[in-house]
Amino acid sequence: MSISRFSRSMKLFDVANEYVVGGVHSNFRYREPHPIYFSRAKGSRLWDADGNEYIDCVINMGACILGHGHPRVVEAVKSALDDGLTVGLEPEISVEVSRMLTRMVPSAESVRFSNTGTEAVMHAIHIARGFTGRYKIAKLEGGYNGWYDYVSVSGHPPLDKAGPPEEPVPILSSAGLAKDVAESTVIIPFNNIEATERIISKHREDLAAVIIEPVMFNVGCALPKKGYLEALRKLTEEYGIVLIFDEVITGFRSAPGGAQEYFGVTPDMSVFGKAIANGFALSAVVGKREIMETIHPRRGKVAYAGTYNSNYISLAAARVVLSELSDGRVQKYLHEAGAKLAKRFNEMAEEIGVKARLQHFAGKFQVYFTDREVIDYRSAVSCDAKKYTVFYESMLNSGIFMLPSHTIHHGVTAAHMDGDIEAILSSMRKALMEVKKHSPD
């Protein structure tokens, strides 16, 4: 990173360190030698505190599916602010947005709103435990489902401690978690049907829920093998285990009803966030009515409350977003844009002579420096991180905003036009040439 190009971010970092631990309010935003601080965004573009302009391929971790500052969303939020309602009361609009979700999402017989993906996952797990009377949770090795204690396990486990691939060992992702987390969380390998069946069968009497991302974006972009989601659905039904799809990122992106519609596998419960309100703080827990009844204010036995739940401003944004996403046109464009990026990138990598591949799903993508398909956590972390760093730094210097981790997801939005896609591809060619120059295969 050029010092002169980021001089204001450097100064802001020095000042921030006096008041903020690490200079950032999310550890994920920290980077060496300093974070980049941003000032504004519009459509497919970002501007940092130094005035540098970028084509954004992070898109608020997937939240801004329509692009930054979408005019209809902005107009709806401004109008909602004029109404004066904020939080702590049940707004009329919550009925309409809930109805929209039940009409779009296959698993949504009943809906409850919250604010973040972490909250939604926590509530979904509480509901599953209350419904089944069981306690343990199963999650994917390398999967990210927020920071609730019982899913803060094996997010990025060191391979020398993670156990055999067919029977991963639970590794805590943070200090300060509840004492029983490791004993209460079962780890399953993505895309290994036989191992997953064996592990779930072993713990079937104790498992309240299995929670997974239908597409593993925490490792970049790993798609489910044919039959994996179907096998998981069959197995959980057989054992009376609640199947939860974490659609915080996959939600609404591949189809109006999310990945569950796209893949034709309906879970018992789902959690949504990010794209649901194009970046405004909103999440949702949806599921079968008999399961969701456990949080009924009078008949239920599981607590579900919060001052900011169904906040008026975010619901105003969500009503616009869901209407924009309901007919499938945005999803069609995202699929096409992702396919174009993948085809052209993979052709360039072969032409230049770099072992690299771009994997994509519904406009989300990741670049891996490997000649093998990434299918799970272990195949993702085994890719060449040093080559990715060279690639990432070249992209940043070319004005394409990406993330420094070689196992994280990127993407485009409905606001990324053909010119943006071509600019990204041009920068990718330059970055691949840099990789070739610094580390020839």
3-state secondary structure the chain: CCCCCCHHHHHHHHHHCCCCHHHCCCHHHCCCCCCCCEEEEEECEEEECCCCEEEECCHHHHCCCCCECCHHHHHHHHHHHHHCCCCCCCCCHHHHHHHHHHHHCCCCCEEEEECCHHHHHHHHHHHHHHHHCCCEEEEECCCCCCCCHHHCECCCCCCCCCCCCCCCCCCECCCCCCCCHHHHEEEECCCCHHHHHHHHHHCCCCEEEEEECCCECCCCCECCCCCHHHHHHHHHHHHCCEEEEEECCCCCCCCCCCHHHHHCCCCCEEEECHHHHCCCCCEEEEECHHHHHHHCCCCCCCCCCCCCCCCHHHHHHHHHHHHHHCCCHHHHHHHHHHHHHHHHHHHHHHHHCCCCEEEEECCEEEEECCCCCCCCHHHHHCCCHHHHHHHHHHHHHCCEECCCCCCCCEECCCCCCHHHHHHHHHHHHHHHHHHHHHCCC
β-pairing, 207-212 vs 242-247, is parallel
Residue 4: per-residue pLDDT: 72
Mean pLDDT by 10 residues, the chain (441 residues): 80 96 93 94 98 97 97 98 92 98 99 98 99 99 97 96 97 95 98 98 98 98 98 98 99 98 99 98 98 98 97 98 98 99 98 98 98 98 98 98 96 98 99 91 60
Token pair, residue 78, equals 């401004």
CA atoms within 13 A on the CB side of 403: 22
User: What is the pLDDT, as a whole number, of residue 3?
Assistant: 58
Q: Do 161 and 169 form a contact (C-beta atoms < 8 A)?
A: yes
**pLDDT computed for residue 250 by the predictor:** 98
Q: Which residues contact 355 (CB under 8 A, 6 or more apart)?
A: 349, 369, 370, 371, 384, 441
Q: Is 374 exposed, middle or buried (0-12, 13-18, 19+ CB in 10 A)?
A: buried
- Residue 211's nearest CA partner among 111, 117, 109 is 117
Q: Is 365 in a helix, a strand, or coil?
A: strand
Which fold is adopted by the domain 37-69+328-438?
Aspartate Aminotransferase, domain 1 (3.90.1150)
Instruction: Give one word for 2, left, alpha or beta, with left for phi > 0 and alpha for psi -120 to 50.
Output: beta
Token pair for 102: 């039940």
Domain ranges within the chain, ordered by starting residue: 37-69+328-438, 71-325
CB 231 within 8 A of CB 200: no
Residues 304-307: contacts with CB within 8 Å, 24+ apart? 304/112, 304/123, 304/126, 304/127, 306/114, 306/115, 306/119, 307/87, 307/88
- Active site (catalytic) residues: 144, 246, 274
Strand 242-247 to 269-272 pairing: parallel
Per-residue model confidence (pLDDT) at position 348: 98
The pLDDT value recorded for residue 441 is 60
Report which residue type is found at 139: K
* CA 342 to centroid of chain Cα atoms: 20
Q: What is d(CA 334, CA 330) in angstroms, rounded to the nearest whole number?
A: 6
- Tokens standing for residue 90: 């049940």
- Tokens encoding 33: 């030698």
DSSP β-bridge partners for residue 246 = 271
CA-CA distance, 58 to 123, in Å (whole number)? 27
Q: What is the model's pLDDT at position 152?
A: 97
Residues in the chain: 441
The phi, psi pair for 36, rounded to 5°, reads -100, 130
Domain at 71-325: CATH architecture:
3-Layer(aba) Sandwich (3.40)
Q: Look at residue 39 in the predicted model and tell me its pLDDT.
A: 98
